[in-house]
């Protein structure tokens, strides 16, 4: 049994394939641009430039105001960097405590695998702190 496809069928299949390829390419490009944008937003220099740009655009400060604004923004960015560093250190401490608590609950056969997991864990990042609120339904489904 052979399958023959008319010219109309071939054109339709080619258009469908082209649409799929374009959609996949567009999704990949969008994802990569989003990652680049997010990385840029996590840089203190970018925070500083973004705030100062918004102040220039919306308030049009004179040169004396601009100098004071820049000093205030620099101070705030330094405070944010300190807070961010503290958050990462506190997060690492919490993870270390979790590891110690879990280690105390392990059976003998689980220890080797757990130690491999601990070795390969990454450092805490701000993404680790992005926690979505759990719904009661998802909480209930996790309970034994």
For residue 117, give its domain range. Answer: 62-121
Is 129 within a domain?
no
Whether the pLDDT of residue 128 is over 80: the answer is no
Position 138 scores a pLDDT of: 52
Stretch 22-45: mean pLDDT, rounded? 88
What are the backbone angles phi and psi of residue 58, rounded to the nearest 5°? -95, -30
Is 97 within a domain?
yes
Q: Number of structural domains, the chain? A: 1
Rounded CA gap, 118 and 100, in Å? 10
Position 133 scores a pLDDT of: 63
Summarize pLDDT for 73-127 with one digit per residue, the tens. 999 989 988 988 898 899 889 999 999 999 999 999 999 999 999 998 876 666 6
Task: Report if pTM > 0.75.
Answer: no
Rounded CA gap, 3 and 134, in Å? 51
Is 40 within a domain?
no
Is 71 within a domain?
yes
The rounded percent of the chain whose pLDDT value lies above 70 is: 83
């Amino acid at each position: 049994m052979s399958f023959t496809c008319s010219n109309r069928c071939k054109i339709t299949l080619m258009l469908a394939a082209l649409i799929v390829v374009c959609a996949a390419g567009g999704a990949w490009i969008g994802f990569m641009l989003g990652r680049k944008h997010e990385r840029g937003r996590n840089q203190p220099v970018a925070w500083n430039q973004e705030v100062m740009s918004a102040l220039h655009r919306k308030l049009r400060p004179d040169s004396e105001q601009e100098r004071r604004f820049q000093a205030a923004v620099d101070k705030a960015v330094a405070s944010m960097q300190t807070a961010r560093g503290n958050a990462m250190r506190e997060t690492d401490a919490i993870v270390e405590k979790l590891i110690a608590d879990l280690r105390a609950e392990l059976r003998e056969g689980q220890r080797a695998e757990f130690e491999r997991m601990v070795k390969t864990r990454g450092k805490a990042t701000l993404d680790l702190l992005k926690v979505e609120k759990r719904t009661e339904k998802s909480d209930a489904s996790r309970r034994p």
